[in-house]
Amino acid sequence: MTTPPDPAALYPDVAARGSLAAALRTEAGGCLGAVPATSPDAAPLLHATVASTLPHREPLRISAWSHERRWSVRGADQFQGLPLLDGRTDDLAEVATAARAWHDGAALEDIRRAAPFVHLSGRFEVPDDDPGRLAESEWRGMLQEASELEYAWQEAYQALIEAAYAEPALRALYPFTSHWALRFSTTTRPRLSIVGPCLTAGSDGMFGVGRGFITADLGLFTTAREAVALAVRRLPAGLGPIGLGG
């Protein structure tokens, strides 16, 4: 295992300022102004957070890489803690631009336009924590994630997510994945209430439906549509609207 270099050697400009937050302010050329940017005492050269004026946004998290001169950003919603955007760049000025836009409450698309290194997760913001909208946001994020995967079984997994989303009974539930298995809940994060079967897409192009986690005890199918149809039939009757899981 390679020992990472001394952060002060990898980031001498940051070390000269004493912290990543202070270096961000310098790179911003005054554009951060009175924006709350802080670094932890434990690792001031490697981490910083920038608060947002929008209460439904968590502070933007900025992290320096340990083996290479580069920074990552992650901006999440406050209620679920799920990423709305992320990104990585070797340009600290770009990070400062994204941080200012995040703080000011700029729309997600506007943040990406201002800082093109930013990647949007596909989720949209739900300031009032409406559970139905949170479920739709999670579906949007899952659909985009599936389209961006570079694994050999990406096409099968994408087909499974799209087929499940096309079914109103499943689309009305909150989707989530664990080890790329698709599952459903009657409540949003952070407290999920699992309902219905577990769906999987295999590297062999087969689609499984199971009562347990990553099993196919209910059936294996050659198409995602067949697997999803069985999942719909196995849903319990009388499911009500999605509730908040918190």
- Is pLDDT above 70 for 1? no
Strands 47-50 and 37-38: antiparallel
Residue 1 maps to a domain: no
Domain finish residue from 120, 141, 167: 120
Q: In which band, very low, low, confident or very high, does the pLDDT at 74 lie, cut at 50, 70 and 90?
A: very high
Residue 225 maps to a domain: yes
* Residue among 140, 150, 94 at smallest CA distance from 118: 94
pTM of the predicted model as reported, rounded to 2 decimal places: 0.93
Residue 125 maps to a domain: no
Residues 206-215 have pLDDT tens digits of 999 999 877 8
58 touches 78 (CB < 8 A) = yes
Question: Residue 246 and residue 243: Cα distance in Å, rounded?
Answer: 9
CB-neighbour burial class of residue 105 (10 A; exposed 0-12, middle 13-18, buried 19+): middle
* % of the chain exceeding 90 in pLDDT: 85
Residue 126 maps to a domain: no
Q: Is the domain of 137 the same as that of 187?
A: yes
Task: Report the domain count for the chain.
Answer: 2
Task: Residue 239: give the domain boundaries.
Answer: 131-245
Q: Is the domain of 153 the same as that of 73?
A: no
Burial 233-243 (b: 16+ CB within 10 A, else e): eebeeeeeebe
Residue 155 maps to a domain: yes
* Average pLDDT of the residues of the chain: 95
